[in-house]
Amino acid sequence: MTAITHHIPEPLLAAYAAGTLPKPFALVIAAHVSMCDTCRAALSAHEHMGGAVLEEMTAAPVEAEVKEALMAMLDLAEPIDETPLAKRSGVYPGPVMEALKGRPPRWKKLGMGVKQCILDAGDAGSVRLLYIPPGQAVPDHTHGGLELTLVLQGSFSDETGSFGVGDLEVANEDLEHTPVADDGPACICLAATDAPLKFNAFVPRLLQPIFRI
């Protein structure tokens, strides 16, 4: 695998370490961290820093009634699932295989050889796998919010540069781009958004509700 050159921005990494990222974005960050030694070390530093802060905090007294209610809730809680996290399979990192429940992606055609597999979608956003044949472009678009795209196989290029396996592109409302899969193996990406994309051409806008992009 070529060297990873596009990493997780510090604010996103801190939010992930704090557990405050929405599920779609958290999946992309977890997948990147599983592939990137640099970001895995940075995440560990964030987690150790958070642990040190907790150790220095002064404990606050808890009323007996509150403590009893909390213990009762713990007694009723579901047991923690001890099943090991899914392992990497082919180009798909462990976090992605976990989202796939250990099964291969179920691809749905979008046209021009492009396919997608939606892993999760809800009020917090959506996360999907995208399969883009070499030389094929994703239609020109801007963004209604944040978009994270992690390359799992192949590579793509756009107005901001080139992205290979393990690279993470972070796009916001300020970026208008036309990602194109490079020559070689088909580009497979993991992409998360918290708002629909804004396509400039009429046909992609027309099909957007059907494809849930």
Indicate whether 31 pLDDT > 80: yes
The pLDDT value given to residue 80: 36
- Nearest to 188, CA basis, from 155, 159, 158, 163: 155
Q: How far apart are CA 159 and CA 142, in angstroms?
A: 12
Longest pairwise C-alpha distance within the chain: 66
Range 189-207 average pLDDT: 78
Residue with token string 């997780």: 8
Q: How far apart are CA 21 and CA 156, in angstroms?
A: 26
- How many distinct structural domains can be found in the chain? 1
Write out pLDDT tens, residues 68-122: 654 554 454 444 343 446 899 999 999 999 999 999 999 999 888 999 999 999 9
The pLDDT value given to residue 70: 45
CATH label of the domain that carries residue 17: 2.60.120.10
Q: How far apart are CA 168 and CA 16, in angstroms?
A: 15
Its pTM stands at 0.80
Instruction: Please check whether residue 171 is in contact with residue 146, taking contact to mean a CB–CB distance below 8 angstroms.
Output: yes
Domain with 177, as residue range(s), is 1-213
- Phi, then psi, of 106 in degrees rounded to 5: -100, 95
